[in-house]
Amino acid sequence: MKRVWVLLLVVLGIAAGYGFTGSNVPRAELSFQGAPATAEQLGEMLFFEPMISANRDLSCASCHIPAHGFADTVAFSTGVGGRLGKRNAPSCANMSERPYFFFDGRAATLEDQVRFPIEDENEMGLPIAEAVARLNSDPKYVQYFNAIYRQAPSEANLKSAIAAFERTLETSSTPFDRYMKGNDSAISLSAQRGRELFMSDKAKCFDCHFSPDFTGDEFRNIGLYDGVKYTDEGRFVITKDSADLGKFKVPGLRNVAVTAPYMHNGMFRTLREVIDYYDDPYKSVARPVNIDTLLLQPLHLTEQEKVDLENFMRTLTDDRFANSSRASLKR
Ligand code: HEC
Ligand code: HEC
């Protein structure tokens, strides 16, 4: 595990140095030199590989930007041919404990998940068989896959390698984690109050955002579906069960300070906007369908409580992302 941390540290260090701009991610940003030696390294190479997109100009890292907690910085990412996606690109870090993927949970494993962005016409837009064929026509990749998997590139080992890399993107080195290990001064008094509030009956955040990654991996409806202006049906798209209308996968909150904008539709630009939303959802969406009973009444948070909640969420940023969050730090 430690080795993997070092690996990621190097990726991010180099990423910070070069400044990720989105597409056309150059190879120089890989964390290792020469041939990949493990499935994780091969997966890293593929994560930055534009060859597996229709026009050879987009990689996974174009939308899952390492310096931003592996999330995108715009509400809707630009995919193949300049087409915009329909949902916000969330972080793809801290995925190893998740039981399903995407806001509607349509992929059951990290391996299975890989096919979706490659084939999505608004993302990389390439049939996965074609992606595999391209890898097979590149002698370098044929050699790497043979060395690591003892097979030529295939759909299965392509998925396996990228999933292996994604499983290395775990973050637990945060001020919050140091505080939980007994270092009382690791987070401010405001953040400590924010933590209490986060878990309290008043704010109720912990009812949905629990576990070490701050998600219970459930689908819940926080009121962002009204069938008129807000039309993403969420989990319903998959299950066709009317009880699932407007439910979305509860996202984990690690590194949330560097992954703006927020929600499946990227409608909030700052954590403060998210907190203001929870304080009184009806100010943003007057007639939500199926909103969770926890959010039926406004929370009536004070200004200080809002500041405290935000400061608490800012303690969940891994040290390696500290520089990307500093720019937006206030108070
Ligand atoms: C054009 C932008 C774009 C590209 C390129 C892209 N993604 Fe994504 N990714 C998204 C969006 C948007 C979502 C959310 C889609 C949804 O939930 O319906 C997402 C979701 C995910 C998730 C699920 C996260 C969660 O919390 O469930 C993972 C994992 C992921 N992508 C990995 C990848 C990998 C691996 C690649 C490369 C093979 C990739 N993505 C390429 C935009 C992109
Ligand atoms: C009823 C369950 C529930 C409660 C209570 C709840 N959340 Fe959420 N939270 C969700 C769901 C579901 C989403 C994703 C919604 C979407 O994408 O449309 C979410 C999204 C978020 C996001 C955006 C994450 C991202 O990466 O886009 C933040 C930040 C957040 N919640 C913080 C909080 C805070 C702070 C509280 C308490 C004031 C709270 N949540 C209470 C279910 C809940």
Token pair, residue 133, equals 């064929």
Question: Which ligand does the CA of 111 lie closest to?
Answer: 1
Q: What is the pLDDT along the chain (331 residues), one digit of tens a residue?
A: 434 444 444 444 434 333 333 333 344 468 889 999 999 999 999 999 999 999 999 999 999 999 999 999 999 999 999 999 999 999 999 999 999 999 999 999 999 999 999 999 999 999 999 999 999 999 999 999 999 999 999 999 999 999 999 999 999 899 999 999 999 999 999 999 999 999 999 999 999 999 999 999 999 999 999 999 999 999 999 999 999 999 999 999 999 999 999 999 999 999 999 999 999 999 999 999 999 999 999 999 999 999 999 999 999 999 988 776 443 322 2
Identical fold, 2-166 and 175-326: yes
Domain 175-326 sits in CATH at 1.10.760.10
Cβ 174 vs Cβ 257: under 8 Å: no
**How far, in Å, is the centroid of ligand 1 from the Cα of 117?**
6
Give the whole-angstrom CA distance, residue 101 versus residue 103: 7
Atom of ligand 1 lying closest to residue 58 CA: 5
Ligand 1: which of 92, 130, 211, 265 to mutate, most ligand atoms within 8 Å of CB?
A: 92
Does the structural domain 2-166 have CATH classification 1.10.760.10?
Answer: yes
Q: Is the peptide bond before 261 cis (omega within 30 degrees of 0)?
A: yes
The strand ranges marked E within the chain are 219-220, 248-249
- Number of C-alpha atoms within 13 angstroms, CB side, residue 323? 11
> Atom 33 of ligand 2 has which residue's CA nearest to it?
205
Element holding 220 (H helix, E strand): strand 219-220
**How far, in Å, is the centroid of ligand 1 from the Cα of 303?**
35
Atom of ligand 1 lying closest to residue 52 CA: 38
**How far, in Å, is the centroid of ligand 1 from the Cα of 82?**
16
Domain boundaries, the chain: 2-166, 175-326
